């Protein structure tokens, strides 16, 4: 079954941006097109997305910087770079910044579609869980989650934290990553406030009927989500 992805396209050429958005929307994905990295903003960068399609030559913050910034807070994010930069040095820099696929312009519709479908299959495989396992189903738009023994209401902040943990390698994130996701004022952020938020979230997850631990504290590092999650 195809996996519906949440995709952000950052491309300053309007015609190309609109064409990419149209192609990816036709493939069944939720797609947002932006003209520059600044349009994403700090708040938008906290919104969990599956795939970033980004040009490198952007006005203001360039695509390499944006890719690095989003990769830091969303380790499970897929990044597809589309650019006119075609030297080996440019490609190496792109992959070092976190690119999963690096395409050089001009890009055909067929090549773009094939690249996105490849990433779609990877993300779908990562989300798959054995049918006999109890799964936490998170309805992101409705701000609700369902477990083996009940359902709960979530805040937008809790949905952001859950989706970030679910997409992270081994479902674990460091304190600083969780702080960037959970607060708009990093200067006023504290580990104690984060601990309060995570304790509340742990209690809610337990209320959905899981027997074992749901959210584990990793001493001096961060937190790990201990239940399989399906993001809807």
Q: Compute how many other C-beta atoms are within 10 angstroms of the C-beta atom of residue 212.
A: 8
Q: What percent of the chain has pLDDT over 70?
A: 88
Domain-terminating residue out of 126, 153, 183? 126
What one-character-per-residue DSSP string does 36-90 give? SHHHHHHHHHHS--SEEEE-SS-SSS-HHHHHHHHHHH-TT-EEEEEES--SHHH
Give the DSSP H/E element, type plus range, for residue 195.
Answer: helix 191-207
Check whether residue 92 and residue 146 sit in a common domain: no
Strand partners, 153: 144
| Largest CA-CA distance found in the chain, in angstroms, rounded | 55
Q: Can you give the CATH number for the domain in which 31 is found?
A: 3.40.50.2300
Check whether residue 140 and residue 100 sit in a common domain: no
pLDDT in the model for residue 99: 87
d(CA 31, CA 80): 14
Q: With beta carbons less than 8 A apart as the criterion, state whether 169 and 75 touch.
A: yes
pLDDT in the model for residue 186: 55
> Which tokens hold the place of 138?
């998170």
Look-up of token digits 């992101």 = 140
pLDDT digits (tens, 9 = 90+) for 130-175: 445 678 888 888 889 998 888 899 998 898 899 888 888 888 899 9
Check whether residue 88 and residue 140 sit in a common domain: no
Q: With beta carbons less than 8 A apart as the criterion, state whether 49 and 74 touch.
A: yes
Q: How many domains does the chain have?
A: 2
Check whether residue 148 and residue 98 sit in a common domain: no
In a domain, 155, yes or no: yes
pLDDT digits (tens, 9 = 90+) for 8-39: 999 999 999 999 999 999 988 989 999 999 88
pLDDT digits (tens, 9 = 90+) for 51-85: 999 999 999 999 999 988 887 777 778 899 999 98
Check whether residue 75 and residue 143 sit in a common domain: no
Span of 95-99, 157-161, 184-188 with lowest mean pLDDT: 184-188
Check whether residue 15 and residue 122 sit in a common domain: yes
In a domain, 131, yes or no: no
Q: Compute how many other C-beta atoms are within 10 angstroms of the C-beta atom of residue 209.
A: 14
In a domain, 1, yes or no: no
Check whether residue 175 and residue 208 sit in a common domain: yes
Strand partners, 7: 31, 51
Check whether residue 50 and residue 96 sit in a common domain: yes
- Closest listed residue to residue 8, CA positions, set 53, 43, 46: 53
Check whether residue 11 and residue 100 sit in a common domain: yes
Check whether residue 121 and residue 10 sit in a common domain: yes
Distance (Å) of CA 229 to CA 89, 137, 173: 39, 6, 15
In a domain, 142, yes or no: yes
Domain-terminating residue out of 93, 126, 159? 126
Q: Can you give the CATH number for the domain in which 148 is found?
A: 1.10.10.10
Of the pLDDT bands very low, low, confident and very high (cuts 50, 70, 90), residue 47 is: low
Check whether residue 119 and residue 140 sit in a common domain: no
Q: Compute how many other C-beta atoms are within 10 angstroms of the C-beta atom of residue 170.
A: 9
In a domain, 113, yes or no: yes
- Closest listed residue to residue 90, CA positions, set 115, 64, 71, 122: 64
> Which tokens hold the place of 39?
């349009």
Instruction: Kindly state the average pLDDT of the residues 203-232.
Output: 89
Strand partners, 225: 215
d(CA 220, CA 164): 19
d(CA 161, CA 166): 9
In a domain, 86, yes or no: yes
Check whether residue 112 and residue 14 sit in a common domain: yes
Give the structural domain span for 48: 6-126
Domain-terminating residue out of 91, 126, 161? 126
């Amino acid at each position: 079954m195809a996996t519906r992805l949440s995709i952000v396209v950052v491309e300053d050429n309007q015609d190309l941006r609109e064409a990419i958005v149209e192609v990816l929307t036709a493939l069944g994905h939720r797609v947002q097109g932006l003209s520059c990295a600044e349009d994403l903003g700090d708040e938008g960068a906290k919104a969990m997305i599956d795939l970033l399609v980004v040009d490198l030559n952007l006005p203001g913050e360039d695509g390499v910087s944006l890719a690095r910034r989003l990769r830091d807070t969303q380790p499970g994010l897929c990044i597809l770079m589309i650019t006119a930069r075609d030297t080996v040095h440019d490609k190496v820099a792109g992959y070092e910044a976190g690119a999963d696929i690096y395409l050089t312009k001009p890009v055909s519709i067929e090549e773009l579609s094939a690249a996105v479908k490849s990433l779609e299959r990877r993300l779908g495989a990562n989300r798959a869980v054995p049918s006999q396992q109890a799964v936490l189903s998170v309805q992101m738009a409705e701000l609700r989650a369902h477990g083996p023994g009940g359902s709960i209401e979530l805040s937008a902040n809790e949905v952001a934290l859950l989706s970030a943990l679910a997409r992270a390698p081994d479902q674990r994130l460091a304190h600083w990553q969780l702080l960037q996701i959970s607060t708009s004022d990093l200067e006023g952020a504290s580990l104690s406030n984060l601990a309060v938020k995570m304790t509340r979230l742990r209690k809610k997850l337990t209320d959905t009927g899981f027997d074992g631990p749901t959210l584990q504290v990793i001493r001096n590092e961060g937190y790990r989500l201990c239940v399989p999650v399906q993001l809807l």
